[in-house]
Amino acid sequence: MGSGQKTSNSKPKASQNWLLTWGKRLGIFSVLLATFAWLDTIKDRWYVLDPPLLHELAQSAIAASPNDTAGMISHIVKNLTETYPSNDIRLNTNQEWVFNNAGGAMGAMYIIHASITEYLIIFGTPLGTEGHSGIHTADDYFHILVGEQWAFRPGALEMERYTPGMVHLMPRGVVKQYKMHEGCWAMEYARGWIPLMLPFGFADTFSSTLDLFTLYHTVRITGREMIANLLMGKI
């Protein structure tokens, strides 16, 4: 009879412990959610790069080095380092190129800047590629330097066409199919929560390419730049 009494008492205690555990988890989740929601309202105070200035820079690079992609990239990096003080933002002036497979599209990228709230890269391929844009937590400005980018959203019966000097703005949450037609190079700028975009950039490695060598260098360069910017106060 004594053993039966212990069994009957253990059920309410187990139920109370389960409720307490899940109550704590829900409380922690609610606090984190409220914190992230608040941070989202103030993230613009950490932006350094300016979209209109970057648009002008892309256009000036095209004008200064027509039909010379390497010259455009050098023009962009040189002007960025002259415009933005090194104590405000870290810019990677070493052209470290790595492949990038994301959403079925493949190209190469050079990371000029990477921090928690911003990234700036040169991305493209001389061969052409297409895929899914991904759904992101940042606004994405795609400045065409060479070639054309085509895009469309569900329900659209005609494609969008972006040519050199134009910028393709993808607000966060927007999803499109895109194609870098017959070779295209672009300066891509994103502002928002950059770490939350990284899984999209890594997913094809595990589901398709298994190119761990490229993944290693992508993580190494991105992590190095983000940490360096954090150490100088750039979030």
Per-residue pLDDT reduced to its tens digit, 127-167 = 999 999 999 889 999 999 999 999 999 999 999 999 999 99
DSSP string, 91-135: ---S--EEEEEETTEEEEEEEEEE-SSEEEEEEEESS-EEEE---
Model pLDDT, residue 233? 94
Q: Which helix (H) or strand (E) holds 174?
A: none
Identify the band that residue 36 occupies on the pLDDT scale cut at 50, 70 and 90.
low
Instruction: Note whether 186 and 145 are within 8 A (CB).
Output: yes
Model pLDDT, residue 114? 98
Beta-carbon contacts of 83 under 8 Å, excluding residues fewer than 6 positions away, are 53
Model pLDDT, residue 27? 73
Number of Cβ within a 10 Å radius of residue 82: 8
| pLDDT at 3 exceeding the cut of 90 | no
Residues 128 and 213 in one domain: yes
Going by the DSSP 8-state scheme, the letter that residue 197 receives in this structure is G
Q: Of 16-25, 94-103, 116-125, which gets the smallest average pLDDT?
A: 16-25
Confirm whether 1 is domain-assigned.
Answer: no
pLDDT digits (tens, 9 = 90+) for 72-93: 999 999 999 999 999 999 999 9
Instruction: Note whether 101 and 211 are within 8 A (CB).
Output: yes
Residues 25 and 136 in one domain: no
Residues 128 and 99 in one domain: yes
Residues 38 and 99 in one domain: no
Identify the band that residue 48 occupies on the pLDDT scale cut at 50, 70 and 90.
very high
Residues 20 and 134 in one domain: no
Number of Cβ within a 10 Å radius of residue 190: 23
Tokens of 146: 């060479």
**3-class DSSP state for residue 37?**
helix
pTM of the predicted structure, to 2 decimals = 0.86
Confirm whether 77 is domain-assigned.
Answer: yes
Query: CA-based angle 145:91:194, to the nearest 5?
Result: 80
Of 196, 198, 225, 193, residue with least CA distance to 43:
193
Confirm whether 5 is domain-assigned.
Answer: no
Model pLDDT, residue 220? 97
Average pLDDT of the segment spanning 179-192? 95
**3-class DSSP state for residue 232?**
coil
pLDDT digits (tens, 9 = 90+) for 202-216: 999 999 999 999 999
Q: Give the residue with greater pLDDT, 25 vs 104.
A: 104
Instruction: Note whether 46 and 117 are within 8 A (CB).
Output: yes
Q: What is the percent of the chain where pLDDT is above 90?
A: 77
Number of domains in the chain: 2
Identify the band that residue 65 occupies on the pLDDT scale cut at 50, 70 and 90.
very high
Identify the band that residue 1 occupies on the pLDDT scale cut at 50, 70 and 90.
very low
Domain membership of residue 24 as a residue range: 15-44
Confirm whether 158 is domain-assigned.
Answer: yes
Q: How far apart are CA 77 and CA 155, in angstroms?
A: 39
Residues 182 and 156 in one domain: yes
Taking all residues of the chain, what is their mean pLDDT, rounded to a whole number?
Answer: 90
Residues 144 and 93 in one domain: yes
Confirm whether 34 is domain-assigned.
Answer: yes
Model pLDDT, residue 202? 94
Residues 91 and 176 in one domain: yes
Confirm whether 4 is domain-assigned.
Answer: no
